[in-house]
Each structure stands twice: as structure tokens, then as C-alpha cells.
Structure 1
Amino acid sequence: MRITVSGLPGSGTTSLSRYLAEHHGFTMISAGEVFRECAKEHNMGLAEFGRLAEQDPAYDKMIDARQKEIAEQRDNIIIEGRLSGWMVDKADLRIWLFAPIGCRLERIVFRDQIADVETAKVITLEREHCEAVRYRQYYDIDINDLSIYHIILNSEHWGIGELGAIVDTAIGQLQAVRGKSA
């Protein structure tokens, strides 16, 4: 089974992906963590590294191609990333997590240890804008088009356990259908 988990920064994609990987014994691949590691390696913040990626498509394309390659070669995998739903052609389940900007900013301040919400807002909105531009330029993808997703969940209303339970049900149903058709 191949499951993609996508959403804007701070929506909970990494947390849900970790839950699903642990709960189902799947391997997890995270584009966001790879991107953050690359930013650190270049001694840059996320927005600054995003601007570099905007100037040199090789950074994004490398991360996207690697994720896609791994996803196509393996089964029982969770692929987490903004574009994973678009990039993994053979995904059995595509999930989009949504959360309002205020909720996401609170999470980002905590996660990235940013001084305050206003600073997080400036960084996050710049990051989202430059990513949306790059996705359109590189792949002709409108990140706001959610029509490809099987499940769209609001992570402000539920914790990871509750979100996980919803997705666990979907996974169970997919596995039951597979079992019947086998």
C-alpha cells in the first residue's frame, strides 16, 4: 500500500505520517524533513533556502524525483510532502491535511522555535508563495487544487490519534477490498 500525506506547513502532515508509519509498520519518507536538512546544510532559513530553490530548480527536482523513485520501488510506504499526492502515481490513498493559518502558525512557532507568531507568519506565507510559484513553473501543479485527494481532514479539530483513527479506518477498508478481490 502506498499512502501520501500532504498539506501546507504546520498542518500536521509529518505527525500523521509518523503515526501511520508506526501504527501500520510502513516506511516513511518526508520531503519536508529533507528540505529542512538541505536548508541547514546550506546554513539558511527555510524562506531563504526556498528562494535559492526558486533560482535553481535542481534542489526541488532532486527531492521530488527521489521521493517518487522510492515510492514506486516500495510497498507499505507513507510518502509525506506537499507534492506527494501529485507525484506518486500509484498511490492507494491520498490525504490532504488542512488547518487554518492561525493554528498552523502556532505549531510552526513551536516546531521551528521561531520567536513569535508574526515572524512565523511572514516566513510561512513567503514560503507558501514561493513553493506555489515553483510547483506551477516546474510541474504545472496548482497546489490549491485538492481534487486528487481521497481524504481531506481539518487537523485543527482533531489530534493525531483521532486523525490516525479516521485514516486507519480508510486503510482497513482498502485492505478489506483488496482481500476480497485477491
Structure 2
Amino acid sequence: MRITISGPPGSGTTTVARKLAEKLGFPMISAGEIFRRLAREHGMSLEEFSRYAENNPDIDNLVDQRQKEEAMRHENAVVEGRLSGWMVPAELKVWIYADEEVRYQRIARREKKPLEVVKAETRLREEIEKRRYLKIYGIDIEDKRLYHLMINSGRFNAEQIVEIILRAVELIGDEEQDNSKEKL
């Protein structure tokens, strides 16, 4: 089973994906890690690389193609990234979200930066990404209709979110078993 985990910066997608992959014994494939690696390889900050990528669609295509190829090599995988739900065929697509202030505070703690700096950088990053995704792929990142499950990480912690997803995985397994019995 492939499971995609998507959400805005600071919503906790990486933490949840890592914990979920560990619990299930699945590999974790992260678009963010691929993007960050490319930023480092280019000697740029994440914000600089986001701006660079806005004018160089090959970067997005490379990240998304690498992630999809890696995911498709595995029958079972947890695939994490903003566009993973759009790019990777999966039996379960999850969107994790949180209030902006919660997300900004998380990012500020993680990156050890002042809150006001994080707010400005994150707003800019999200606006750049929104324009890029629409321009390159015709994807409106605010359209959540493709997701099977949406979870507020401001209400539930990472372990609780993993439990919710595991229950959804169980329910999907039960449904698949029921469907296979009907075919007999």
C-alpha cells in the first residue's frame, strides 16, 4: 500500500510520515529532502532555491519525477511532500494541516529563527510554491478534493495522527477483503 502525506510547511508531515513508515516497516520517500538536498548542492538557502525553482521548472520536475520513480519501485511506501498526493498513485492520501501561527512557531523552533522572520519567509515560500505548482502543473494546491483524510496537527499530536492513519489503513484493508470476497 502506498500512502501519501502532504501539508503546508510546519504542519508536521515529515514527523508523521517518518513515524508512520517506522510503524508499518515501509520506506519513507520525502520530496522535501530531495528539494533540500538540491538546494544545498546549489549552495542556496531554501528560500533562495525556491525563488530559483520558480524560474526553473526543471527543478520541480526533477524533484517530483525522482519521488514518483522511487515510490513506484515499492509496493508499500509512505511518500511525503506537498505534491505527493497529486503525483503518486496511492491507496490512501492524507493532508495534514494546522493554524498558521502554530506552523510558524514550529518552524521557528526547528530552524532556531525569530518568529517574525519565519512568518515572512514561510508566507513568501508558500506564495512562490502556489504560483509554481499552478504554472508548471496546473495544480491548485488549495484544492483538497483528492485527499481521503485530512487531519489537524494543531489538535492531534504526531503519535495520535499516526494512530488515525493506521486505523484508516485497517479500514481500507477490511474493505479490500470484503470486495475480494464479493468477487468469489
Q: TM-score, normalised by structure 1?
A: 0.95
Would you say 1:152 and 2:174 are equivalent positions? no
Q: Which residue of the partner structure matches residue 23 of structure 1? A: 23
Residue 45 of structure 1, CA deviation: 1.4
Residue 58 of structure 1, CA deviation: 1.0
Would you say 1:168 and 2:173 are equivalent positions? no
Structure 1: gaps of 5 or more residues: none
C-alpha RMSD of matched pairs (Å)? 1.1
CA distance in 1, matches of 2:69, 2:32: 16
Classify the secondary structure of the residue corresponding to 1:123.
helix
Q: Which residue of the partner structure matches residue 135 of structure 1? A: 133
Classify the secondary structure of the residue corresponding to 1:147.
coil
Would you say 1:104 and 2:103 are equivalent positions? yes
Residue 123 of structure 1, CA deviation: 0.7
Would you say 1:42 and 2:42 are equivalent positions? yes
Q: Which residue of the partner structure matches residue 32 of structure 1? A: 32
1:94-118 deviation line (CA, Å, top 9, x unaligned): 000010111001111122222x010
Residue 43 of structure 1, CA deviation: 2.2
Residue 2 of structure 1, CA deviation: 0.6
**1:45-64 alignment runs, 5 A limit:** 45-64=45-64
Paired residues in the alignment total 180
Residue identity opposite 1:96 in structure 2: W
Residue identity opposite 2:8 in structure 1: L
Q: Which residue of the partner structure matches residue 76 of structure 1? A: 76
Residue 144 of structure 1, CA deviation: 0.2
Classify the secondary structure of the residue corresponding to 1:65.
helix
Structure 2: gaps of 5 or more residues: none
CA distance in 2, matches of 1:172, 1:25: 15
Q: Which residue of the partner structure matches residue 14 of structure 1? A: 14
Residue 176 of structure 1, CA deviation: 2.1
Residue identity opposite 2:48 in structure 1: E
CA distance in 2, matches of 1:77, 1:69: 12
Deviates more, 1:145-154 or 1:30-39: 30-39
Q: After the TM superposition, which segments of 4 or more aligned residues of structure 1 sit over 4 Å from their partners? A: none
State the identity as a percent: 45
Classify the secondary structure of the residue corresponding to 1:170.
helix
Q: Which residue of the partner structure matches residue 121 of structure 2? A: 123
1:36-65 deviation line (CA, Å, top 9, x unaligned): 122222222111110110111111110001
CA distance in 1, matches of 2:153, 2:128: 24
